Structure 1
Amino acid sequence: MAIDLQQIGKRFRFYTNLKELEMEDLKAITGSTEETLNNIINGCNILLDELVAIVKHFDDLNPQWLIYGEGSMFKPMDADGNCHEPSKKGCLKKDKAAYLRQMKNMLIELEAAEIAKGHKPDVDALRAKLDELRAAQQ
């Protein structure tokens, strides 16, 4: 199975936008340089060691999804039903409507890229989550 650096970048950008992580947040969380993070987000000049070093800082991010587009974006919850990372529910920093529109557009872009590559992504689960957020907003 080939690794597509641009797809990794799109998936990582989708994840970080969903989590509302800005570049300064990413630098603080990972200890990486802005150049390295931009390379990953843009899908160019990625070294596997750098990617692994960065991904390990995100407890809920499924590396199989990030690298290959397989499975869910998030790792499964533990036996107690707890997420690996504290939840930020109800704490959106951005305008909810604008945030949901942005995430929907990114999901469409990601889905189109995955379909073009011949992958069967787990987009339905992401779309359901966005619908759930939209319903909760109303």
Structure 2
Amino acid sequence: MAIDIQQIGKRFRFYTSIKELEMPQLLEMTGSNETVLSNILCGKNYLLDELVAIVKNFQDLNTQWLIYGEGSMFKPMDEDGTCKDNPKACLKKDRAAYLRQMQNMLIELDAAEVAKGHHADVEALKAKLEAYKASHSQD
């Protein structure tokens, strides 16, 4: 499977948006320079080594999802339920806002996949998102 650096950039932007991380926070967390981070977020002109050096700072980010778009954005939760692997506990946003943003980003990712000729199963993700929303609407 080929690596698409533009798609990696879109997914990394999605992740940082969900986690509410802005450029100053990313710079501080990663120790990287702004040009490299900006290039990764824009999906252009960066080395895989640079991506690896940055991504290792995000313990809850599933690199399989980031690079290939496969699986969940977040790694599975540890047995002890620590925050690093529990996206619900780590997110600052309220659920409704989070779900709306996730749905909008899925639409954007789907459009990008279709434009590239990829056939991701975004409809299944949308259905799961709707089911999750329905099951948690009583909260």
What SS class does the counterpart of residue 90 from structure 2 fall into? Answer: coil
Name the count of aligned residue pairs: 134
**CA separation of 1:5 and 1:130: change in aligned 2, threshold 3 A:** farther
Deviation (angstroms), 1:110: 1.0
**1:96/1:118 CA distance change after superposition, 3 Å:** closer
Q: CA deviation at 1:102?
A: 4.1
Whether the aligned pair in 2 keeps the contact of 1:14 and 1:107 (CA below 8 Å) is no
* CA distance in 2 between partners of 1:129 and 1:44 (Å): 35
User: Counterparts in 2 of 1:14-33, with a 5 A limit?
Assistant: 14-33=14-33
Letter in 2 for 1:120: D
Q: What 5-or-longer segments of structure 2 have no aligned partner?
A: none
**Larger displacement relative to structure 2 (44-53 or 96-105):** 96-105
Could you tell me which amino acid in structure 2 is paired with residue 123 of structure 1?
A: L
TM-score, reference length from structure 2: 0.77
Question: For residues 107-134 of structure 1, what are the alpha-carbon distances to aligned partners after superposition, in whole Å with 9 as ceiling and x for unaligned?
Answer: 21012223541233573487359837x8
TM-score (norm 1): 0.78
5+ long unaligned stretches in structure 1: none
Specify the alignment match of 1:10 in structure 2: 10
- Are 2:10 and 2:43, in contact at CA under 8 Å, matched by a contact in 1? yes
Alignment of 1:43-58 (within 5 A): 43-58=43-58
1:34 Cα offset (Å) = 1.2
Superposition deviation, residue 101 in structure 1:
4.3
Aligned CA distance change for structure 1 residues 99 and 79 (closer, same or farther; 3 Å): closer
Per-residue CA deviations over 1:8-45 (Å, capped at 9, x if unaligned) read 00000000000010111111111111111110011101
Match of 2:80 in 1: 80
Contact (CA 8 Å) 2:103, 2:126: kept in 1 or not?
A: no
Q: Once the two structures are aligned, what percentage of the paired residues are identical?
A: 60
Cα distance between partner residues in 2 of 1:61 and 1:23: 17
Report if the CA contact (8 A) 1:6-1:42 is conserved: yes
Letter of the 1:17 partner, please give it.
Answer: S
Structure with the bigger RCO (C-alpha within 8 Å, sep 6+) is 1
1:127 aligns with 2:129: yes
